[in-house]
Amino acid sequence: MSDQHDPASPRVTVKRGANRAVYDPAEARSILEAGNIAHVGVATDDGPIVLPMAYGVRTGPGGGEVLIHGSVANAMLRAGRDLDVCVTVTIVDGLVVARTPFHNSMNYRSVVVRGTATAVTEPADKMAALQVINDHIAPIWDTARPPSEIDLKQTLVLALPLDEASAKVRAGDPIDEDADLDGPHWAGVVPLTTTWGTPYAAADLRGAPPIPAAVTALAGTDAHITLGVRPQV
């Protein structure tokens, strides 16, 4: 994969598999917008920790920012305030099966963002940031009860600029050695796709409120469908 952009910094310069590096901010942002979960790493007093978190992406100076949130009691988030953090998002597109396990791989799209995370404290901006995070996958903010003042006080929102980011992408077939091409072993790709299932009602749902259209749209279903069957625990 060719990329005409330069890395934003030595810290996000891809060294291993440099031919798969993507430094185009637009490409990195498209991967972030397509992903579901970010892994957030930060150094704390108890040592480094990485946690999976919901996130959102919004435009702004320097290419925009990644937004994450959690409880004000979250020690990792508290440690990340105005400190250097790393956020990664990975989408696996398939298993690459080679003729030898040494060349097995995966097709994937990934982004690494590094920088200083700062707390979003201004009330209106904090509310807007939470909506970006909430609506990252489906715009359901406006179809639920708005957060209360207590909700906001109990929630910490951090913003990480996207001006120091890089992506890495692999696509295509296995890359085997010429000597193995005429051998007896199969090689190919097993695509991996993620889909949403049919929504089902919460056990304590009262009345018959309509399912938000944005929720049913995730599974490509109609808003007036019969609710799905609750999975057995």
| Number of domains making up the chain | 2
Q: Are residues 161 and 210 in the same domain?
A: no
DSSP labels for 135-157?
A: TTTS--GGGSPPPPHHHHHTEEE
Q: Are residues 129 and 20 in the same domain?
A: yes
Task: Look up the domain containing 150 and give its range.
Answer: 10-191
Q: State the distance between the two ends of the chain, measured CA to CA, in whole angstroms.
A: 45
In a domain, 165, yes or no: yes
69-85: average pLDDT? 76
Distance from C-alpha of 165 to C-alpha of 33, rounded to nearest angstrom: 14
Q: Are residues 200 and 181 in the same domain?
A: no
Q: What pLDDT score was predicted for residue 9?
A: 87
Q: Are residues 178 and 147 in the same domain?
A: yes
Q: What is the pLDDT of residues 81-128, one digit of tens each?
A: 778 899 999 999 999 999 999 999 999 999 999 999 999 989 999 999
Higher pLDDT, 62 or 201: 201
Q: Are residues 136 and 200 in the same domain?
A: no
Q: What is the pLDDT of residues 129-177, one digit of tens each?
A: 999 999 999 999 999 999 999 999 899 999 999 999 999 999 999 999 9
Work out the widest C-alpha separation in the chain, in whole angstroms: 67
Q: Are residues 83 and 107 in the same domain?
A: yes
Q: What is the pTM of this model?
A: 0.86
Q: What pLDDT score was predicted for residue 220?
A: 80
In a domain, 183, yes or no: yes
Q: Are residues 215 and 177 in the same domain?
A: no
Q: Give residue for tokens 């696996």.
A: 92
Distance from C-alpha of 130 to C-alpha of 152, rounded to nearest angstrom: 9
Average pLDDT across the chain, whole number: 89
Q: Are residues 199 and 134 in the same domain?
A: no
Bridge partners (DSSP) of residue 48 are 43
CA–CA–CA angle 196, 201, 204 (5° rounding): 145
Q: Are residues 34 and 67 in the same domain?
A: yes
Q: Give residue for tokens 């990195």.
A: 28
In a domain, 2, yes or no: no
Q: What is the pLDDT of residues 190-214, one digit of tens each?
A: 999 998 988 888 999 999 899 999 9
CA–CA–CA angle 167, 171, 172 (5° rounding): 165
Q: Are residues 70 and 33 in the same domain?
A: yes
Type and span of the H or E element at 119: strand 105-119
Q: Are residues 162 and 215 in the same domain?
A: no
In a domain, 230, yes or no: yes
Q: What pLDDT score was predicted for residue 150?
A: 93
In a domain, 51, yes or no: yes
Q: Are residues 133 and 186 in the same domain?
A: yes
Q: Are 156 and 69 a contacting pair, CB within 8 Å?
A: yes
Higher pLDDT, 20 or 83: 20
Distance from C-alpha of 160 to C-alpha of 148, rounded to nearest angstrom: 25
In a domain, 3, yes or no: no
Distance from C-alpha of 116 to C-alpha of 118, rounded to nearest angstrom: 6
Output the domain CATH number for residue 168. 2.30.110.10
